[in-house]
Amino acid sequence: MTMQKPSIPKGTRDFSPSEVAKRNYIVQTIRKNFEQFGFQPIETPCFEKTETLMGKYGEEGDRLIFRILDAGDFLSEVPAEVYQSANSAKLAPYISGKALRYDLTVPFARYVVQHQNEISFPFKRYQIQPVWRADRPQKGRYREFYQCDADVVGARGLWQEVEFVQLYDRVFTDLQVKGVTVKMNHRKILSGFAEIIGAPDKLIDFTVALDKLDKIGKEKVEEEMIQRGITPEAIAKIQPVFSLEGDFSQKIAQLKDILSTSPTGLEGIADLEFIYTQTQLLGLQTAALELEVTLARGLNYYTGAIFEVAAPKEVALGSIGGGGRYDELTEIFGLKGMSGIGISFGLDRIYLVLEQLDLFPKTLDNTLDVLCINFGEKEALASFKVIQQLRAKGYRAELYPESTKLKKQLSYADGRQVRYVILIGEEELSNAKAVLKNMLTGEQTSYPIEEIVKAIGEE
Amino acid sequence: MTMQKPSIPKGTRDFSPSEVAKRNYIVQTIRKNFEQFGFQPIETPCFEKTETLMGKYGEEGDRLIFRILDAGDFLSEVPAEVYQSANSAKLAPYISGKALRYDLTVPFARYVVQHQNEISFPFKRYQIQPVWRADRPQKGRYREFYQCDADVVGARGLWQEVEFVQLYDRVFTDLQVKGVTVKMNHRKILSGFAEIIGAPDKLIDFTVALDKLDKIGKEKVEEEMIQRGITPEAIAKIQPVFSLEGDFSQKIAQLKDILSTSPTGLEGIADLEFIYTQTQLLGLQTAALELEVTLARGLNYYTGAIFEVAAPKEVALGSIGGGGRYDELTEIFGLKGMSGIGISFGLDRIYLVLEQLDLFPKTLDNTLDVLCINFGEKEALASFKVIQQLRAKGYRAELYPESTKLKKQLSYADGRQVRYVILIGEEELSNAKAVLKNMLTGEQTSYPIEEIVKAIGEE
């Protein structure tokens, strides 16, 4: 009988040592900057009570939540009529009281409300943990993936928006990714458009269509707007929006004209103008800041500034991060008046960007500095003493665990991309010597055993 | 209508910034040593196919596995007769094809078999990830908790056992925990006892009873053995085991007598003697190595050396780690002849040890070096420029996000345990000055703005 090779559920991944090293490189860069910007880490459980998550992500989102089957005799509390219906949707609530988190935002809102008396506001938290979605797996989309979020709750000042632009700039500069664009928009500018065309109830229809301007062009967008019940007169009024030109400040000037009769729209413009002006005065290292009125992400919850970060044009990977301000994040759990703003980094996409642009440091795969060859008990003991000294100095060092053929041990050293191999064989031991082999140059040098650690330090 | 405060599922935990800092301190110490000892990280998905996990942990273990409800219409593939049975155990396999991992060992075995062609053996991997068990929650036992495992597969030499003793010693020395005891036993010594008493089939009964020697004393152990079908003659033969005395080497000497007619037992003794001798020659910094013949953990799978690490006696917390050698870890997935050995660190227990002994560094809660007070737009911009310089030098620095009352901002600074506060108010700005307040001493000093970063560096 041959057993079938085991495998993992679709949409999930194993990460090899090399992949973990690359992922950690990105995560550490993000984490370092989160901390330098004053954010503090929290962690929440991987599963929440089902009621905490359900109803927070829209109908589509709810369907993508992985539910956990209750432990033990899970059918014991199902009402007879529910069971007889044999209906999955009706049965689920009775047999699964817990579910895997779908994002980090709702658990964060739950955390803030639950622990409000222990938290001193404004609360700047970051969280880097996996989330799960029962999405159809495809290239770059997984059922288990990490989110890297930073949020501030309990403060309204616009400096936080300025800060997040700086944060994106710093992280991508540290990762050596040039040509990143931070695109901004404002919920109130979109509301202003809806006001101007006299159809505030059509905000979503209008923006969903507008969002496609880049992809399908002006004519098709107008067609779609008409299909969505926006009148040709309204579209005519808003025409200038389709052809905004110039840099951030030039677009601001045009928008001031377009939205001159919408107080809401003008508020949005004032916010963006502040953020842009301060960003100009502070400077950005590698990123660009752009105003993009078609940007309409998270319109369900964002109430102010909206961010989206685009990868460098040459990699064609789309969004690698985003966020925005939401005035009532914690209201869903009963706590009002907590303005919040948050951004996220898309780890998997950023990984692909670095891979495509060949930006991962070459040293990430060097996970072992020194391997000592195992020539037998006495020799191994002498090697082990050297290893103890190396580790005390911070080197990653090990003894090959078995006394086996030299060729096999050296081939292992190659596989691990070891920088140095130390050989203490019978003859060396009897002369209190050790041979140091530099695996890059192939050079071999003999040293007195007690000098070998120093020799490596001086290489 | 007042909403109920949200909460998390029983047996799970939120970790506050302060708790995350403490947990990370332990994890980073373990990780650093894993890497210095040549281990490489892998990560596996949080859920596995149910068939990968089921049947690997015994009946009791299987019951504790959290199953995930299939997405969508999960009832659609349940056979009618199974559904009609309304039996939870029968229904579960048809509606939940995935399950949360129960430990890191089985996923690791699955990983090795699945990726055997990409791995160069011996493979030294570490893995620090959460696991889930539907256990009854109680003090120190959770439904979601982290495991920190290091394993080597594909090598048989005993140096790896020596290495793991060193690793335990290094980690607890780094964590400043003195008085840790690494207890060792050997599966073959236990088998030897069973041989000697002429009841090799009673190995488990014998060891389960023997394991209680410390707790219930010799008489009760003998009673239990008799209840478990071991004859009084057999117990008489094995009497000396109940009263082993002295240090490791003295116990070895006594065991050689007791097991002199058991080749298996003598093999076990030879292994432990080697490990003990090399450990003596290499030395331990703070841990003690003891031989404990009553130790019988993991007898289902361990085939050689068995480890258990006991917390310092004064904290009375029992085991804080353990492991052993298993000759056929990957056989469950069809890959034979892969000897392995692994150990684990118990993060939650170690946390309690450090808490009780007050060993967490006092600086862990310092998550912000500098707070700049926000006095309004122009002043904030000047402060922000200072912050940029501070961050470039590696400081964690932030601007209070709103221009609000000074008292409120300073109270936030206290809450964050900030070391320095920088005040640039209207007057300071007009004179190009900045006031540095040392929050430890309360001292305030005025500097030219361009010298403030340097001043902090020199404090």
**pLDDT at A299 > cutoff 50:** yes
What pLDDT sits at residue B1? 42
Average pLDDT, stretch A112-136? 96
Q: Which candidate, B135, B128, B121, places its Cα nearest to that of B104?
A: B128
Q: How far is B42 from chain A (nearest CA, A)?
A: 5
Tokens coding B256: 């050689």
Taking CB atoms and an 8 Å limit, are B47 and A144 in contact across chains?
Answer: yes
A-chain residues near B339 (CB < 8 A):
none
Query: Alpha-carbon distance A182 to A165, whole Å?
Result: 7
B-chain residues near A4 (CB < 8 A):
334
A20, A75, A115 ranked by CB distance to B91: nearest: A75
A-chain residues near B408 (CB < 8 A):
none
Largest CA distance in chain A: 97
Listed by number, the residues of chain A in 269-298 with a beta carbon closer than 8 Å to a beta carbon of chain B are: 278, 281-282
Q: At what angle do helices A213-227 and A203-210 cross, to 10 degrees?
A: 150
Please answer whether residues B330 and B114 qualify as being in contact, where contact means their C-beta atoms are separated by less than 8 angstroms: no
Laid out side by side, the sheet with B319-326 consists of B40-41, B123-132, B144-153, B340-345, B319-326, B305-310, B181-186, B288-291
A contact test, residue of B18, B29, B31, B40 with most A CBs within 10 A: B40
Query: Alpha-carbon distance A370 to A303, whole Å?
Result: 55
> Strands A370-372 and A420-423: what pairing?
parallel
Query: Alpha-carbon distance B366 to B239, whole Å?
Result: 57
pLDDT single digits (tens) B214-237: 889 899 999 999 999 889 988 888
pLDDT single digits (tens) B263-277: 999 999 999 999 999
Q: How far is B237 from chain A (nearest CA, A)?
A: 36
Taking CB atoms and an 8 Å limit, are B159 and A16 in contact across chains?
Answer: no
Listed by number, the residues of chain B in 292-331 with a beta carbon closer than 8 Å to a beta carbon of chain A are: none
**pLDDT at B422 > cutoff 50:** yes
> Strands A288-291 and A123-132: what pairing?
unpaired
Provide φ and ψ at B232, rounded to 5°: -60, -35
Q: How far is B213 from chain A (nearest CA, A)?
A: 34
**pLDDT at B298 > cutoff 80:** no
Average pLDDT, stretch A69-90? 95
Q: What does the mean pLDDT of chain B come to? A: 94
Half-sphere exposure in the Cβ direction for B60 (13 Å, CA): 2
> What residue of A is the nearest CA neighbor of B282?
A385
B-chain residues near A402 (CB < 8 A):
122, 155-157, 159
**pLDDT at B353 > cutoff 90:** yes
Please answer whether residues B83 and B91 qualify as being in contact, where contact means their C-beta atoms are separated by less than 8 angstroms: yes
Listed by number, the residues of chain A in 367-426 with a beta carbon closer than 8 Å to a beta carbon of chain B are: 367-368, 371, 374, 380-381, 384-385, 388, 391, 394-403, 411-412, 415-416
Q: Which candidate, B50, B9, B20, B43, places its Cα nearest to that of A46?
A: B9
B-chain residues near A122 (CB < 8 A):
400-402, 412
**Cis link prior to B122 (omega < 30° from 0)?**
yes
pLDDT single digits (tens) B66-80: 999 999 999 999 999
**pLDDT at B299 > cutoff 90:** no
Q: How far is A67 from chain B (nearest CA, A)?
A: 5
Query: Alpha-carbon distance A401 to B162, whole Å?
Result: 10
Taking CB atoms and an 8 Å limit, are B391 and A37 in contact across chains?
Answer: yes
Q: What percent of chain B has pLDDT over 70?
A: 99
A contact test, residue of B31, B32, B43, B367 with most A CBs within 10 A: B43
> What residue of B is the nearest CA neighbor of A41?
B17
Listed by number, the residues of chain A in 126-155 with a beta carbon closer than 8 Å to a beta carbon of chain B are: 130, 132, 134, 144, 152, 155
Taking CB atoms and an 8 Å limit, are A86 and B69 in contact across chains?
Answer: no
A5, A334, A374 ranked by CB distance to B114: nearest: A5
**pLDDT at B317 > cutoff 90:** no
Tokens coding B458: 């020199």
Query: Alpha-carbon distance A228 to A293, whole Å?
Result: 19
Q: How far is B217 from chain A (nearest CA, A)?
A: 37
Per-residue 3-state assignment (H helix, E strand, C coil) for chain A? CCCCCCCCCCCCCCECHHHHHHHHHHHHHHHHHHHHCCCEECECCCEEEHHHHCCCCHHHHHHCCCEECCCCCCCCCCCHHHHHHCCHHHHHHHHCCEEECCCCHHHHHHHHHHCCCCCCCCEEEEEEEEEECCCCCECCECCEEEEEEEEEECCCCCHHHHHHHHHHHHHHHHCCCCCCEEEEEEHHHHHHHHHHCCCHHHHHHHHHHHCCHHHHHHHHHHHHHHHCCCCHHHHHHHHHHHHCCCCHHHHHHHHHHHCCCCHHHHHHHHHHHHHHHHHHHHCCCCCEEEECCCCCCCCCCCCCEEEEEECCHHHCCCEEEEEEEECCHHHHHCCCCCCEEEEEECHHHHHHHHHHCCCCCHHHHCCCCEEECCCCHHHHHHHHHHHHHHHHCCCCEEECCCCCCHHHHHHHHHHCCCCEEEECCHHHHHCCEEEEEECCCCCEEEEEHHHHHHHHHHC
B-chain residues near A129 (CB < 8 A):
none
Provide φ and ψ at A304, rounded to 5°: -135, -130
H or E, element range at B268:
helix B263-282
- Whether residue A64 lies within 8 A of chain B, CB to CB, comes out as yes
What pLDDT sits at residue A359? 98
B contact test, residue of A2, A10, A13, A16 with most B CBs within 10 A: A16
- Whether residue B115 lies within 8 A of chain A, CB to CB, comes out as yes
- Whether residue A459 lies within 8 A of chain B, CB to CB, comes out as no
Q: Is A237 exposed, middle or buried (0-12, 13-18, 19+ CB in 10 A)?
A: middle
Q: Which candidate, A51, A54, A44, A55, places its Cα nearest to that of A111?
A: A44
CA end-to-end distance (rounded Å), chain B? 54
Query: Alpha-carbon distance B291 to B277, whole Å?
Result: 13
Q: What is the CA radius of gyration of chain B?
A: 29
Q: Please give the interface size between A and B, counted as residue pairs whose CB atoms are below 8 Å apart.
A: 288
Please answer whether residues B133 and B64 qualify as being in contact, where contact means their C-beta atoms are separated by less than 8 angstroms: yes
Taking CB atoms and an 8 Å limit, are A412 and B170 in contact across chains?
Answer: no
Sign of CA dihedral B68, B70, B74, B79: negative
Please answer whether residues B324 and B304 qualify as being in contact, where contact means their C-beta atoms are separated by less than 8 angstroms: yes
pLDDT single digits (tens) A138-174: 877 899 999 999 999 999 889 999 999 999 999 999 9
Lowest mean per-residue pLDDT among A77-81, A101-105, A173-177, A315-319: A315-319
- Whether residue A79 lies within 8 A of chain B, CB to CB, comes out as no
- Whether residue A87 lies within 8 A of chain B, CB to CB, comes out as yes
B15, B64, B89 ranked by CB distance to A43: nearest: B15
A-chain residues near B421 (CB < 8 A):
none
Please answer whether residues B422 and B372 qualify as being in contact, where contact means their C-beta atoms are separated by less than 8 angstroms: yes
> What residue of B is the nearest CA neighbor of A135?
B71
Q: How far is B90 from chain A (nearest CA, A)?
A: 10
What does the DSSP 8-state code read for residue B337? S
To which residue do tokens 């025409």 refer? A239
What pLDDT sits at residue A3? 62
A-chain residues near B3 (CB < 8 A):
333-334
**pLDDT at B295 > cutoff 50:** yes
What pLDDT sits at residue B199? 84
A115, A398, A416 ranked by CB distance to B37: nearest: A398
Residue B205 — pLDDT band, cuts 50, 70, 90? confident
Give the predicted TM-score (pTM) of the model: 0.95
Residues 6+ apart with CB under 8 A from A68: A47, A96, A97, A98, A99, A100, B66, B67, B68, B69, B100
Query: Alpha-carbon distance A127 to A342, whole Å?
Result: 11
Listed by number, the residues of chain A in 8-37 with a beta carbon closer than 8 Å to a beta carbon of chain B are: 8-9, 12-17, 20-21, 24, 35-37
Q: Tally the residues of chain A.
A: 459
Measured CA angle at B398 (ends B396, B400), to 5 deg: 150
What pLDDT sits at residue A1? 42
Q: How far is A197 from chain B (nearest CA, A)?
A: 35
Q: How far is B165 from chain A (nearest CA, A)?
A: 13
Q: Tally the residues of chain B.
A: 459
Residue B58 — pLDDT band, cuts 50, 70, 90? confident
- For residue B234, give the amino acid letter: A
The ipTM, to two decimals, is 0.94
SS3 B129: strand
Q: How far is B184 from chain A (nearest CA, A)?
A: 19
